[in-house]
Structure formats: C-alpha cells, structure tokens
Amino acid sequence: MCNFKNKSMQKSRIRIRAPRGILIRKMLIFMKLFCLFQFVFFISVQANVYSQQAVINVEMENVSLKTIFTELSVQAGCDFLYNNQMIQQKGLVSLKVQNKPLDQVLKEWLPSLGLTFSYDDNVVIIRAIKEEKKKVYMIEGKVVDGNNVPMPGVTVLLDSTQFGTSTDTAGRFVLPLPREKGSLVFSFVGFKTKKVAYMAGKLVVVKMEEDISGLDEVQVVAYGSQKKRTVISAISSVNGGQ
C-alpha cells in the first residue's frame, strides 16, 4: 500500500515539474533567438556604416552610369538598386574622386545628374530628383474710374517687377503670380499711379483717380497747343509755368 502511495506521489511530482521544465526551455530558446537577432542586426548596421564610410578612388571618363555604379559597389562592398531605363537616359558620364567616403561622393555627384539616393541596409537606392512644381496664384481684379466706369488698357504690374498685364474692355484682369500676397501697381495716362495690396482668392477692386495737375500741362502739337485733359497722346509736354 505504501509503495502504491509513493508511486502515485512520484507521478504527481513529475506532472507538476514537467510544465516548469518546458517553460524554462522555451525561455532559453527565446533568449538564444533574441541574442541571434541582436547579433544579426548589429552586423547589418556595421556593414551599412562601413559602406557609407568606405573610401572611394575613381577616375572614369565618358562611361555609362552602370559602369560607375558597378565600380562603386566593388569598392564600398554594397549593392546599388536603380531603374535601368532611367540611368541609360543620362548617357555617358564622368567621375573623378580620390580618398572620399562613398556617402560624400554620392551627395556631391548625383545631384548634378538629376539623381538622389537613400540607404536600405547595405543597398544604395538611386532615384530621380522630383521637380517641385511652383505654386501659381491666379489674382483677379477690376479697375474703374471715379464714376465706376470700367477702364480698359490699364497697366497692372507686380510691384518692383516688369511682370504684369493690362485690363480688358470690361476693366478686368487675371494675373498668375508666384506669391500668395503682395502689391500691384496700376497706371494709366491721365490718372495717378496706384499701389494696391492683393491676396490670393480675394477680388482686387481698384478705383483710379484723375491726375488733375497732369491734365493742366500744356502739350505742344503740330497744329498748336492744347491742355492734356483735351489731348492725351502728347508729342512733348511743357508745364504751365514754362
């Protein structure tokens, strides 16, 4: 009877201890895998850093980009990934460098070819530089005189530039500008030049003022003399005091 009890107790102890043993083994396996992963990661990082800092010596003239990338790959111990059609379009190129790290070589050389690069572990990925599209703001407006009558032919210029347009028969204008806000200069014969602030998305409404002093100037014409308020297109102008 006692032997039976002892055997039963031993079996129960074995059943209790077994799960602990499995747990310990699982933990050991996990720790080994973790250490292995850390080691692989460390080696990968070291290889990547080594490639970037690898000293390059190249002197090639009028060769394909593929040829140069192949040589850089050998010297730096890394791989290059690129689109064949893209680099073929660059034609024959040249590269002369001495004792420079790969990273510096690529940063100084690739932009001149319209290319850029990035790293993915020990692989250098070559891409075309994306041209940034300059945003254009369409500025719309209307020009009227003192009686709110539309004025055609008014010159509209971006302040401090010669870039501009003129109003149509309805006194309206549309001007594409690279700036979201700024100032426009409006000018017309017989009227005061006016500077008006603008902001993209907001209609610019300008009321021109007659230049009274200018209208009292005497203009010499072929058949006599008349005031500027009568004749706008002058051949020559002389102030009233003269």
Q: Can you tell me whether residue 152 is helix, strand or coil?
A: coil
Q: How far apart are CA 145 and CA 206, in angstroms?
A: 8
Locus of tokens 């992963």: 37
Query: Are the C-beta atoms of 222 and 159 separated by less than 8 Å?
Result: no
Q: Can you tell me whether residue 173 is helix, strand or coil?
A: strand
Q: Residues for the chain: how many in total?
A: 242
Locus of tokens 């003192």: 146
**pTM given for the model:** 0.42
Per-residue confidence in pLDDT tens, the chain, 242 aa: 445 445 444 544 545 454 565 666 666 666 666 555 554 444 444 444 445 678 889 899 899 999 999 999 898 888 999 999 988 888 888 899 899 998 989 998 998 888 999 988 789 999 998 866 678 999 999 999 999 999 999 999 999 888 899 999 999 999 999 889 999 999 999 899 999 999 999 999 999 999 877 555 555 444 444 555 554 444 333 344 44
